[in-house]
Amino acid sequence: DLANCKLMTFPVGIYKAMRSVTEGIHCISLANNELKSLTSRFVTTFSQLRELNLAGNYLHRLPEEVTSLPHLRAINLSRNRFRRFPEPLAAVTTLETIDLEENEI
């Protein structure tokens, strides 16, 4: 849980520190930060995610690599800056919940 930390990017040091345990991480919250983008490295590093909370950031798109999250069941993108539905999510067949409330769609 890295919510409410005023992060502008995902901390690079966390990739290194968590290298040996990323397969066991199923839920990440980066809510209420200042993220403008999500990198492909983030998605490929945390490939076993089931829930991802990105609410309350400045996101307007998602990387194509989101399609390679085979276990993702829920994603919260509320209170961001999306102007259209993030197309990569259409290819994630395991998704049960997509929250896009309070965007510019």
pLDDT of residue 55: 98
Number of neighbours of residue 73 by Cβ within 10 angstroms: 16
Question: Residue ranges of the domains in the chain?
Answer: 12-99
- What are the tens digits of pLDDT across the range 28-66? 999 999 999 999 999 999 999 999 999 999 999 999 999
pTM for this entry: 0.92
Mean pLDDT to the nearest integer, 82-101: 96
Give the CATH number of domain 12-99.
3.80.10.10
Task: Quote the radius of gyration of the chain (alpha carbons, Å).
Answer: 13
pLDDT of residue 62: 96
